[in-house]
Amino acid sequence: MNKVQSHSLLTDFDIDLFKAGKHFRLYEKLGAHIIEVEGVKGVYFAVWAPSARSVSVVGDFNYWIQGDHQLQVRWDSSGIWEGFIPGLEKGTTYKYKIQSNNNDIITEKADPFALYCEHPPHTASVIWDLEYKWKDKSWMDNRKDKNGLDKPYSVYEVHLGSWKRNAEGKFLTYLEFAEDLVNYVKETGFTHVEFMPIMEFPYDPSWGYQLVGYFAPTSRFGKPQDFMFLVDKLHQAGIGVILDWVPSHFPDDAHGLGFFDGSNLFEHPDRRKGYHPDWKSLVFNYGRNEVRSFLISNAIFWLQHYHADGLRVDAVASMLYLDYSREEGEWEPNIFGGRENLDTISFLKDFNEAVYSNFEGVQTIAEESTSFSMVSRPTFVGGLGFGMKWMMGWMHDTLQYFQKEPIYRKYHQNDLTFSMTYAFSENFMLPLSHDEVVYGKKSIAGRMPGDEWQKFANLRLLYGYMFTHPGTKLLFMGAEFGQSSEWNFEGSLDWHLLQYDFHDGIKKVITDLNALYKTYPALHEKQFSPEGFEWINYSDFQNAVMSYIRKGNDPKDDLVVVCNFTPVIRENYRIGIPKKGKLTQVFNSDETIYGGSGKTFTKSIKIEADPCDGRDFSAALVLPPLSVTVFKIS
């Protein structure tokens, strides 16, 4: 006798939306929901498995026996199986045992909508709820003033498993991060934290980018409410939260989404579109409406129930191009003969429209490494609709330049100046991310040439240049204090390095640059507009010096930035200034408190009526070695 009662949370309208790819809150209907039916408490289950012959809920409550708790398929051809099991409680583990119409294949799957999962390597779903009393109302009510495109946006990218570990080398908990990480980010002045994927994943070396529990924070660090507490504490400290989101691919683990009901349900059935050769993973079928509903519901879920302030979408380029990482003959052109995945383009537009229409003050950010146009332009003008896009070209060219010995830099100044030819074609974020400190690339500090003093001077110069370049900023954990070794996901950052002056100096530089970025409107008000930037001189390659002006809404806020990319002190170096007055130094990366040489000069410098750089006025400066200096015009 089946012990499942007939019950449904789904309406006909829900089904219509689901089939149309427009149901963006599926998590309210599918999955496991603790409810009460006619005075009896229990759990309602609903799962999409259109190719199933039968679906049973199995778990520790029925000794994992198939058939005792069999769900009923709906009459409306939606492929959804559902039912109410009385007496089940929060904390019960379960899976779906699915017998397929496809040669009677039997799969045992975790719930795609599970709110909580067992700690890997265990793979069952756990009945849970989302009850939590948030205390971040002030942040949520005002976050549009903190999260806008004209606001300072400095992101600290974090991998929770390796940011810090306890004395026994074990993971910290979400609750411990809510103390240690929150205090640290607040101290260093970052405006946002970006978490590498915290959704449940089975394999640590994937860093979280191969997901099986799209609606569940990983149990490695605690319970779902513990992660809510961490987000809550960040918000109370005035820090925004960005989550890495991975709609690009998923693993073929037996308990995951792959071949879910004995058919290619979530993945594209054509292996040329449904398999990723680089990561040996499966690719979502973006043209299937039900899959679109699943993915966009997942994005909305994290914004709604975990108060995320943004989603950074991973590997967008791999989604956009049919020939991505494929040889000739391994892909098929679209109906127009092109290489663009038209289903992906449509899906990403729908995703961004759903996010921005449902939430005020959030941002979506694309990790997109190609020249695909209008990624961060609104959909109503033909764009994909993202708020920002990673500026991968800037990252590549800048690191390539800084790796060179200063004596050779005069031959490569165009590596730096080139970014300004396309800097405003998108709303760019400048990333120095986790991808740049693995697989033999060295740490950011380890790339810098010269002796120890020059290495750290170059690093301070790099960060000064980054924070004064147009665009928002992202820095991977450890880079803010000059981590010497490559990132190791299996251990902790090398926090002991902060006892050394040079490393402590890097941390002070980052702290002060974050303060500079937030304090001076010229660095953020027009960070995505050509009106916010003006070259003074980009052609002095012989001295490897660049100078430029950053501008805000008020001309009185203009800042002058001068970068000296060699260890040679430039005495009496004259630059053109657009108006009379004086220059007041507001930042100098060569200060002794940072580990610099202390080659300073009078804080206030008179602007003279001496034409230079095509301007009627100019000022004579002393440029410290390997330095960025920033001045306010007054």
Q: How far apart are CA 265 and CA 272, in angstroms?
A: 16
Q: Structure tokens of 226?
A: 């513990």
Domain count of the fold of the chain = 2
Give the model confidence (pLDDT) of 527-558 as tens digits: 999 999 999 999 999 999 999 999 999 999 99
Rg (CA), the chain: 27
pLDDT exceeds 60 at position 1: no
In this prediction, residues 346-350 reach a mean pLDDT of 98
Q: How far apart are CA 18 and CA 10, in angstroms?
A: 10
Residue 71 lies in a domain: yes
Which 8-state DSSP code applies to residue 349? H
Give the model confidence (pLDDT) of 129-153 as tens digits: 999 999 999 999 999 999 999 999 9
Instruction: Label residue 235 by pLDDT band (50, 70, 90).
Output: very high
In this prediction, residues 283-297 reach a mean pLDDT of 98
- Token pair 């001496």 is found at 610
Average pLDDT of the chain, as a whole number: 96
The whole domain housing 588 covers 530-633
Q: How far apart are CA 484 and CA 496, in angstroms?
A: 11
462, 509 in Cβ contact below 8 A?
Answer: no
pLDDT exceeds 80 at position 630: yes
Residue 310 lies in a domain: no
Instruction: Label residue 601 by pLDDT band (50, 70, 90).
Output: low
Give the model confidence (pLDDT) of 120-135 as tens digits: 999 999 999 999 999 9
Residue 81 lies in a domain: yes
In this prediction, residues 104-129 reach a mean pLDDT of 96
Which 8-state DSSP code applies to residue 566? S
pLDDT exceeds 90 at position 103: no
154, 164 in Cβ contact below 8 A?
Answer: no
579, 625 in Cβ contact below 8 A?
Answer: no
Which residues face 582 on adjacent strands? 606
CATH, residue 103: 2.60.40.10
Give the model confidence (pLDDT) of 473-521 as tens digits: 999 999 999 999 999 999 999 999 999 999 999 999 999 999 999 999 9
For 479, phi and psi rounded to 5 degrees?
-65, -25
- Token pair 């209008």 is found at 374
CATH, residue 575: 2.60.40.1180
Write down which residue in 94, 126, 158 finishes a domain.
126
Residue 611 lies in a domain: yes
In this prediction, residues 589-606 reach a mean pLDDT of 88
Of the chain, the end-to-end C-alpha distance in Å amounts to 84
Name the nearest CA neighbour of 602 among 625, 581, 579, 582: 582
Q: Structure tokens of 437?
A: 């400190």
Write down which residue in 126, 159, 175 finishes a domain.
126
Residues 6+ apart with CB under 8 A from 539: none
Name the nearest CA neighbour of 372 among 320, 420, 431: 320
In this prediction, residues 315-322 reach a mean pLDDT of 96
In this prediction, residues 416-445 reach a mean pLDDT of 96
Residue 163 lies in a domain: no
pLDDT exceeds 60 at position 302: yes
Residue 232 lies in a domain: no
Q: What is the DSSP string of 481-542?
A: GT--SPP-TTS---GGGGGSHHHHHHHHHHHHHHHHHHH-GGGTTTTTSGGGEEEEES--TT
Instruction: Label residue 603 by pLDDT band (50, 70, 90).
Output: confident
Pairing mode of beta strands 72-73, 80-86: antiparallel
Catalytic residues: 314, 367
In this prediction, residues 152-162 reach a mean pLDDT of 98
Write down which residue in 80, 111, 126 finishes a domain.
126
For the chain, what percent of residues have pLDDT higher than 90? Answer: 96
Which residues face 390 on adjacent strands? 429
Which residues face 605 on adjacent strands? 583
pLDDT exceeds 60 at position 254: yes
In this prediction, residues 323-348 reach a mean pLDDT of 95
Residue 106 lies in a domain: yes
